[in-house]
Amino acid sequence: MKPKALVIRTAGTNCDKESVFALNMAGAATDMHHINYLRHNGDLSRYQIICIPGGFSYGDDLGAGKIFSLELSLWFKDEILNAVNRGALVIGICNGFQILAKTGILPDMDFKQKFTLTLNDSNRFEDRWVYLKVCSESVWLKSMPEIVSLPVAHGEGKFYAGGDVLERIEESTKVALRYVDKNGRIAGYPFNPNGSLNNIAGITDKTGRILGLMPHPERFIFKHHSPFWCNDLLLPQGITFFKNAVAYFKK
């Protein structure tokens, strides 16, 4: 049986179909529904994988992901808690990461916001490929090479947290991915495209089953997606995230 996956979209979401394609290609049976449909007809308990994709939900008019996060908190808090408590996997990509932050689903699943993704230090939209160091044994990151490359595309991607929260995230090994140079060394702009504290590109909850990240794995599904596609040794590393999620349930 294929694990069932759900991609939640709303006005302004623009990476939903790519996320559905990636999940299906990885072996999931994927549904895509508008959040208003789920409010009246949905049942999140049917799904083993929940994806909040990238984009600019509601135009980010009140801040990146803010309205979407309020809807999740008001309408789906209990369903999300139940889904995670029974073992579901959750991924938030770019705008989805911003939403997981503002709901408080990450890092502690207590629906209290503790960090944010704010304006890039460059004060402009950053659309580039980055190198990432894998720092976690999360379900989503199994069998990954130490250094992977993915594209980013965001204007508000700077990971920012107060000192006590940042220290706790670091100490509890919730950092999943860090921006690095091609040799795996911590580096500044443009390798860190947004000025994220401690070069943090993604974090997980304590179980590793909930992952939020600014880079876009759904945009590196085929080798030819990469600007370095002529490299014979290059592997499409984005699809591995989704294959790991499917394999977790097939086991």
**Structural domain includes residue 145:** no
Q: Strands 89-93, 126-134: parallel, antiparallel or unpaired by DSSP?
A: unpaired
- Is residue 12 within 8 A of residue 58, CB to CB? The reply is yes
Q: What is the pLDDT of residues 171-214, one digit of tens each?
A: 988 999 999 999 999 999 999 999 999 999 999 999 999 999 99
Domain that holds residue 46: 4-119+153-175+203-250
Question: Among the options 18, 126, 156, 218, which is catalytic?
Answer: 218
Mean pLDDT along residues 157-176: 94
- Angle, in degrees to the nearest 10, between helices 238-250 and 16-26: 50
Mean pLDDT along residues 241-247: 98
**Structural domain includes residue 65:** yes
Q: What pTM did the predictor assign?
A: 0.96
- CATH code of the domain covering residue 23: 3.40.50.880
Percent of the chain with pLDDT over 70: 100
pLDDT at residue number 37:
96
pLDDT at residue 152 tops 80: yes
Q: Across 29-125, where does the E strand assignment appear?
A: 29-34, 49-52, 89-93, 115-118
**Structural domain includes residue 80:** yes
Q: What is the pLDDT of residues 98-121, one digit of tens each?
A: 999 999 999 999 999 999 999 999
| Residue 126 falls in the annotated catalytic set | no
Number of domains in the chain: 1
**Structural domain includes residue 9:** yes
| Residue 216 falls in the annotated catalytic set | yes
Question: Among the options 51, 94, 126, 156, which is catalytic?
Answer: 94
Residues in the chain: 251
Nearest-angstrom CA–CA distance, 195 and 217: 20
Nearest-angstrom CA–CA distance, 23 and 29: 8
φ, ψ of residue 59 to 5 degrees: the values are 70, 10
Mean pLDDT of all residues in the chain?
A: 95
| Residue 94 falls in the annotated catalytic set | yes
